[in-house]
Structure 1
């Protein structure tokens, strides 16, 4: 059994707790954008607490830090609530995804502004520099991912993503305030033989910020390096494809010139207009077709990039179908040289994983976890006794060969802007190709 990442376990546990509250917000008529705005306003409140502490508090009074930490966690809760309100309330939108991303950046910036102001006002100058560097790293972690995904490269790995940053700052701020209440805000720890103190109560808050400054920038640099490798591989593959296309075009043009005879002036105008037709080629017709996979059933592609989802039979060591898990889903990452890669846990649970249920006749009913409406059926063909996946295309039963999803910019992982889904297959008896486009 695959080990579930701790981050995903915690996320699922939090969803179980907050979902009743989310449903209450939906009944009260709150939209996802309204929830996002509430979270932003709470973060402005965090900044006011830090500014108030910097102006009116003294160096040993860390109660402001504790209260600010509590509000940071409460405001961070709304980062999860807005997404859940959108999903459970069926209110997802492209603008909502953009609005959430922009206000998340503003929320984090105003929070770090408050922290820096407090640290400077209370003469923690070195710690204020670390806080500023942590703010830079936090922005670059988010920006690197957004820019890479805008270029069609997935970029989600690394430590100190936004939830981890908020939890780290919030919990350490609360711990700092609580500790100061019991042992004093100016308590210092010494090491024998060293004249100056090594740690003080405020270190409970400032040391994690220093660690945050380092890890966020490491995460941003790692994402940049990983995205750079993927982009270079894609560009190399694209350049090779362009060279092949140019060679084919040259051969066709040469052949046409040799066999068509002299070209008249009017003909030249007609031929010059031909390249414009290339703009009308459907994107799916330009994507690579997986080959050399003996047990392949069908594959799925999207306009985001040429990375391809392949669904194949899952056979055990004896070459027999694994009845408990009959299909295996994996990536072929063409921009990275055609390497095979397993789905991540999130991709398998929320997007491209396939649920199967065995039927009384020995076949399997299947559907993607992200789209239950399109039923798929895995069963043996009466023609050759081989397993194939069947579905309905244009109201006819067909062997499924390919699914293509047209996604335009403006959506998110949880709510992509899907223009259409195309199913392509063939009638088993006649071999006639069938194709249907639909809005999922």
Structure 2
């Protein structure tokens, strides 16, 4: 935590220094994306310097490393400038944030490409391997944060974030170049009893890269652990919310269906829902469906039959969602929804007849049996002393709160049980 605060204080101090320059960039018309693009071009220049050093210098010439480090720091300055230009110039945008992130990744990969090329060309094979591992760690530090934030979890902690990586490479590359100038590029230190050298001039540059290879990957792993905790907490909260929503659904059904006692029906055209609800189609053995504000997602009750067309006596009804608000996909009820809201319990009455009741309101009996008219199974209930073959149940909700929705009425649409060709609708005010 203290390291984060120190980092923030340093960043604020740097901003105070560069803000006059930032205002100058804004005055001449540079946009944040232009500044980001300049940073990419400069990092391409870094790679070019290292490639030239690989091709034109000898193993003991550290000057190219020094100049490459200087350009790394200069390019890193533009990485800070683009954000400040966006903030001070009131030019922040979502695309700008994406553009900055993408070009930062390109910049870093191009820079490491040049470094790895230089190290391989001068036969620092082990160091080139660590440089490549540092590149992997750098990418994973950034990717872990981006992916976690995409899932709604903040993930900013850890060492070796991009500013630290830029400063580490830039400073120690310059230090390597300066050291090579004063003590020579072939300087080596040996310890008694050890046949190989334990330090050389190039180590000023390669040892920090080796340390970076370790720390970047540790940071990526720690961010992954941090994201795991955040996502698990998020899932627990979502589960609680889902449970609450299911309990509300149970309350709605209890409130709505509980009104299906003999009461005065209201006019059919009063207070229609502003939503245009779809009619489920193409669902084999559909019995009836249930809809309610504030969306078009629909509960479908379907006759549960085996491959021979026989009704499953243990569970004669299948209940599932048609998620019309989610591309119309079919989805099973959750455990909470099945046990406390939309699930249906059944009782075998014999002779192919079943008593059905919603788990959320068991006071309203419904009956599943074959119609004498079409010899197919339908669900029947007595509504306002009228026996009805149910097609649709609708709960009109208008306002209210999450826990106390304002249910205006329940509408039941179906057919006269005695004369199925006769359709009618009962609307009961709550």
Q: State TM-score, norm by structure 1.
A: 0.59
In structure 2, do the counterparts of structure 1 residues 103 and 153 end up closer, same or farther at CA, with 3 Å as the change threshold? same
In structure 2, do the counterparts of structure 1 residues 274 and 49 end up closer, same or farther at CA, with 3 Å as the change threshold? same
Q: Secondary structure at the match of 1:158?
A: coil
Q: What is aligned with 2:12?
A: 12
Q: What is aligned with 1:256?
A: 256
Q: What is aligned with 2:291?
A: 273
Residue 8 (structure 1) shift: 2.0
Q: What is aligned with 1:357?
A: none
CA distance in 2, matches of 1:12, 1:253: 56
Q: What is aligned with 2:117?
A: 117
Q: What is aligned with 1:47?
A: 47
Q: What is aligned with 1:240?
A: 240
Residue 34 (structure 1) shift: 0.9
Q: What is aligned with 1:325?
A: none
1:168 aligned onto 2:186: no
Q: What is aligned with 2:324?
A: none
Q: What is aligned with 1:107?
A: 107
Residue 252 (structure 1) shift: 2.7
Residue 168 (structure 1) shift: 0.2
Q: What is aligned with 1:31?
A: 31
The runs of at least 4 consecutive aligned structure 1 residues that moved more than 6 Å come to: 268-271
Write out per-residue CA displacement over residues 313-339 of structure 1, whole angstroms, 9 at most, x where no aligned residue. Answer: xxxxxxxxxxxxxxxxxxxxxxxxxxx
Q: What is aligned with 2:188?
A: 188
Q: Secondary structure at the match of 1:153?
A: coil
CA distance in 1, matches of 2:22, 2:247: 58
In structure 2, do the counterparts of structure 1 residues 148 and 128 end up closer, same or farther at CA, with 3 Å as the change threshold? same
Q: Which runs of 5+ in 1 are unaligned?
A: 280-440
CA distance in 2, matches of 1:236, 1:5: 30
1:210 aligned onto 2:182: no
In structure 2, do the counterparts of structure 1 residues 141 and 3 end up closer, same or farther at CA, with 3 Å as the change threshold? closer
CA distance in 1, matches of 2:19, 2:60: 40
Residue 256 (structure 1) shift: 2.9
Q: Which runs of 5+ in 2 are unaligned?
A: 263-267, 269-276, 280-287, 298-430
CA distance in 2, matches of 1:6, 1:199: 32
Write out per-residue CA displacement over residues 375-404 of structure 1, whole angstroms, 9 at most, x where no aligned residue. Answer: xxxxxxxxxxxxxxxxxxxxxxxxxxxxxx
Q: Secondary structure at the match of 2:58?
A: coil
Q: State TM-score, norm by structure 2.
A: 0.60
Write out per-residue CA displacement over residues 230-249 of structure 1, whole angstroms, 9 at most, x where no aligned residue. Answer: 11121122112212321331
CA distance in 1, matches of 2:30, 2:111: 24
Number of equivalences: 276
CA distance in 1, matches of 2:258, 2:291: 20
The 5 Å alignment of 1:204-353 reads 204-260=204-260, 272-274=290-292, 276-277=294-295
Q: What is aligned with 1:96?
A: 96
Q: What is aligned with 1:399?
A: none
CA distance in 2, matches of 1:219, 1:239: 30
Which is greater in Rg?
2
CA distance in 2, matches of 1:92, 1:240: 36
Q: Secondary structure at the match of 1:5?
A: helix
Residue 274 (structure 1) shift: 1.3
Residue 255 (structure 1) shift: 4.4
In structure 2, do the counterparts of structure 1 residues 237 and 105 end up closer, same or farther at CA, with 3 Å as the change threshold? same
